[in-house]
């Protein structure tokens, strides 16, 4: 069965109940997930289990060591071939954390925990290779439909 996942991206200043109120559908949905990072917040909601994560693309100290702790050997080999390792790591991390949020365990669920069959993890298009942020959504559905929208805070425009 195909799930529909709604994702709203909003200014970082909107959080918690204020963020959910902006997206009225989210409060009526049985499942939702929220992510905040510098400059951006997001909420995802669906009838299926769902998790979302956003990260700022930035230089990280000891990136090789961090990659060794958080990537499978195959993931690490693919990552080592990327041109922008900072962006590649951030994108990888959002995939992992979105899934861990969806199953309700967060990072304590284990850096090497990966989804089984019946799950999809989808990279969010936040502006291509020049974007300052990356994101991913995980949903318990083999072929979800993702609806992504950018929203502004009340009284502002984008």
Q: Which residue has the tokens 């499942």?
A: 31
What pLDDT does residue 157 have?
Answer: 43
Per-residue confidence at 129, pLDDT binned at 50, 70, 90?
Answer: confident
Q: Which residue has the tokens 């909601």?
A: 45
pLDDT per residue over 2-22, tens digit each? 788 888 887 777 766 666 666
Please choose, from the candidates 97, 98, 149, 156, the residue with its C-alpha nearest in 3D space to the C-alpha of residue 125: 149
HSE (side-chain half, CA atoms, 13 Å) at 4: 5
Beta bridge partners of 42: 9, 35
CA–CA separation, 19 vs 11, rounded Å? Answer: 9
pLDDT per residue over 52-111, tens digit each? 999 999 999 999 999 999 999 999 999 999 999 999 999 999 999 999 999 999 888 788
Q: Which residue has the tokens 């861990």?
A: 100
- Helix, strand, coil content of the chain in percent (nearest 5): 35, 30, 35
CATH topology of domain 4-150: Ribosomal Protein L22; Chain A (3.90.470)
What pLDDT does residue 156 have?
Answer: 47
Reply yes or no on whether the pLDDT at 154 is more than 60.
Answer: no
Beta bridge partners of 65: none
- Would you list the domain boundaries of the chain? 4-150
């Amino acid at each position: 069965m195909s799930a529909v996942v709604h994702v709203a991206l909003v200014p970082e200043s909107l959080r918690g109940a204020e963020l959910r109120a902006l997206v009225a559908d989210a409060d009526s949905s049985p499942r939702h997930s929220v992510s905040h990072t510098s400059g951006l917040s997001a909420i995802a909601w669906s009838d299926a289990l769902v998790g979302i994560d956003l990260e700022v693309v930035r230089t990280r100290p000891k990136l090789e060591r961090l990659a060794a702790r958080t990537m499978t050997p195959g993931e690490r080999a693919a990552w080592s071939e990327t041109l922008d390792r900072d962006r590649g790591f951030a994108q990888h991390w959002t995939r992992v954390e979105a899934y861990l949020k969806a199953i309700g365990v967060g990072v304590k669920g284990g850096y090497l925990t990966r989804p089984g069959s019946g799950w999809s993890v989808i990279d969010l298009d936040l502006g291509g290779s020049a974007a300052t942020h990356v994101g991913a959504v995980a949903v318990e559905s083999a072929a979800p439909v993702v609806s992504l929208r950018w929203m502004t805070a009340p009284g502002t425009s984008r």
